[in-house]
Amino acid sequence: MWIKELRGAKILDSRGHPTIGVEVNGCRASSPEGKSKGKHETKPYCESLDWSIHLIDVLKIPYEINSFDDLIKVENLIKDQFGFKNVHQFGANALFALESAILKALAKEQKKELWQIINPKARKFPIPVGNAIGGGLHSENFVIHPTFQEFLLIPQEKSFEKNVKMMNSIYTKIGKLLHAEEKNDEGAWQLAMDNTQVLDILSEFAKDARIGLDVASSSFYKYGFYLSGEKTLNKEEHIEYINNLIKKYNLFYVEDPVQEEDFDGFRKINKEKTLVVGDDLTVTHFDRVKGAIKDKAINAMIIKPNQNGSLLDVRRIFELCKKNKIKTVLSHRSGETMDSAIADYAFGFGADYFKCGISTPWREAKLNRMIEIERSLK
């Protein structure tokens, strides 16, 4: 495939904030925009969104692209043409949208599904992880809200489609039970409750789905202490608090239970029956993932393609995790677009879990795309 048309554009995400779209040979891709960001994330753009769009508009790709591996030609060209030491200087959002648009165009030309460009033999479907009740940085417009950022449902049905139906059923029941009306950035219910009150509610549905948390501890870690609601805890007290919650509520999944620099603290979180998931800790960067594995800090990790930008790097991280028996969770961002490509990436790369919310059109687009893939292979 020769790239005949290439242009960037400014579009709006689900929060109404600007993000980047890229069109290659008539095929469009876009990047989401995160709100809760790890401080080690790659910058989304080179200098600015407008400057990244300019770089895409002047980029000339004089190579034929015939496979996923040919993305290396694009990445090397970007470094050479713009004088970057590494391709991530191009900006993670810009690079991800560009590479995604190229792969979509390639799939169209070869009359394949997007996931087939990555792995035509893929057959494993991930388990959805749904954000049912929100807190933290995603619910700042509520004066009273949970400190933890996400309260999650992980169903256990026999198909992806049935799992989605179960998540939706529980989510709807919670809304009716609590007369909830407000939703946050990710479509999760917003409730004027504390962490324990929310966990008590979710525990009523534990027979239908496992319970998880995105603690997002870095968001309330200040001056060496965790300011969780009315509590002020030091490191040891916070670790004890999280481990007690794991035991009391039989938590299956706990994301970012301690702050993003504390590899040692992650190691002390109970992993016997629980996925201890790195996100701000690892930020989809190969070296930080490698370090977390070496330190035995995690047994699962979030992978957000637009945290890194390079889909080649994303594949390397999946391969590293699989080699070391680390569960993988391919994830959306809070500011999403209607682009459903991450469903193809979750399936093609063989993710164990797929975290993309439950409600709102932007989340449903991803879930429906995965259901479409599942139906096509039955």
Contacts for 57-64: CB closer than 8 Å, 24+ residues apart? 57/6, 57/7, 57/8, 59/6, 59/98, 61/3, 61/6, 64/1, 64/2
Among the options 99, 113, 161, 186, which is catalytic? 186
Using CA atoms, how far residue 96 sits from 33, 214, 226, in Å, is: 12, 24, 34
Among the options 104, 268, 304, 355, which is catalytic? 304
Cβ 321 vs Cβ 289: under 8 Å? yes
Cβ 216 vs Cβ 137: under 8 Å? yes
- DSSP characters over 278-306: ESTTTTT-HHHHHHHHHTT--SEEEE-HH
Active site residue 378: no
- Dihedral sign for Cα 331, 16, 165, 134, please: positive
Active site residue 304: yes
- Pick from 202, 191, 186, 196: nearest CA to 145: 191
- Per-residue tokens: 127: 């388990």
- Per-residue tokens: 187: 């479509």
Cβ 31 vs Cβ 19: under 8 Å? yes
Measured in degrees and rounded to the nearest 5, phi and psi for residue 376 equal -65, -20
- Per-residue tokens: 55: 């770089």
Active-site residues, by number, are 186, 304
